[in-house]
Amino acid sequence: MSQVNLKKYNNDWFIPGSNMRIILWTLISALFFRTSLPVPSAIKVAILKLFGAQIGDGVVIKPSVNIKYPWKLKLGDHTWVGENVWIDNLAVVNIGDNCCLSQGCYLLTGNHDFTSSAFDLMISEINIKNEAWVGAKSVVCPGVTLQRASILTVGSIATKNLEELGIYQGNPAIKIKERVIS
């Protein structure tokens, strides 16, 4: 019978950026993003763009936001990122236009292969299509797509794709009804 042996863990294949870029981002992030100080969104957007993020017009980024690697982030026009949002983007995170990431939600692009004795790292991008809403304290798991105008309700966990205009709730999130936009 095999056993988990973390001594065998090796993620040398995963190179998210140069050490200098990561260190510089960590410092800038602590000063301007992960702080509760009300740094204007325009300044945050400019910094993200300097670090390679693709950011649309009218983006709002609230205080205490944690973005792992901005060069793996795409935010569409008029998208809101609420307080204490954590974008743990080991892989690309694509967020469309007019989306809302509510307070404390977590976008998770990495996990581990529990069937591997070495507990191998696995990463997969997240796609949040136009007009989707990720509720407060919700989690979007690796490889998940939220289709147009779908909603992941407060405290829910999306382990699978959400259908267009679907409202999802629970852990794991299941569709509870259709969204009607007037």
pLDDT digits (tens, 9 = 90+) for 111-152: 999 999 999 999 999 999 999 999 999 999 999 999 999 999
The pTM (predicted TM-score) of the whole model is 0.95
Q: Which two tokens stand for residue 107?
A: 């976008």
Average pLDDT of every residue of the chain: 97
Domain coordinates in residue numbering, the chain: 39-178
What letter would DSSP give residue 104? Answer: T
3-state secondary structure labels for all residues of the chain:
CCCCCHHHCCCCCCCCCCHHHHHHHHHHHHHHCCCCCCCCHHHHHHHHHHCCCEECCCCEECCCCEECCHHHEEECCCCEECCCCEEECCCCEEECCCCEECCCCEEECEEECCCCCCCCEEECCEEECCCCEECCCCEECCCCEECCCCEECCCCEECCCECCCEEEEECCEEEEEECCCC
The Cα 51–Cα 23 span in angstroms is 12
Task: Kindly state which CATH superfamily the domain 39-178 is placed in.
Answer: Hexapeptide repeat proteins (2.160.10.10)
- As a dihedral over the C-alpha atoms of residue 56, residue 39, residue 21, residue 89, rounded to 10 degrees, the angle is -60
pLDDT digits (tens, 9 = 90+) for 62-110: 999 999 999 999 999 999 999 999 999 999 999 999 999 999 999 999 9
> Distance between CA 160 and CA 165 in Å, rounded?
15
- The DSSP code for 72 is G
pLDDT digits (tens, 9 = 90+) for 42-61: 999 999 999 999 999 999 99
- Spatial separation of the C-alpha atoms in residues 73 and 29, rounded to whole Å: 14
Is the confidence at residue 24, as pLDDT, over 90?
A: yes
The amino acid present at 155, given as its one-letter code, is G
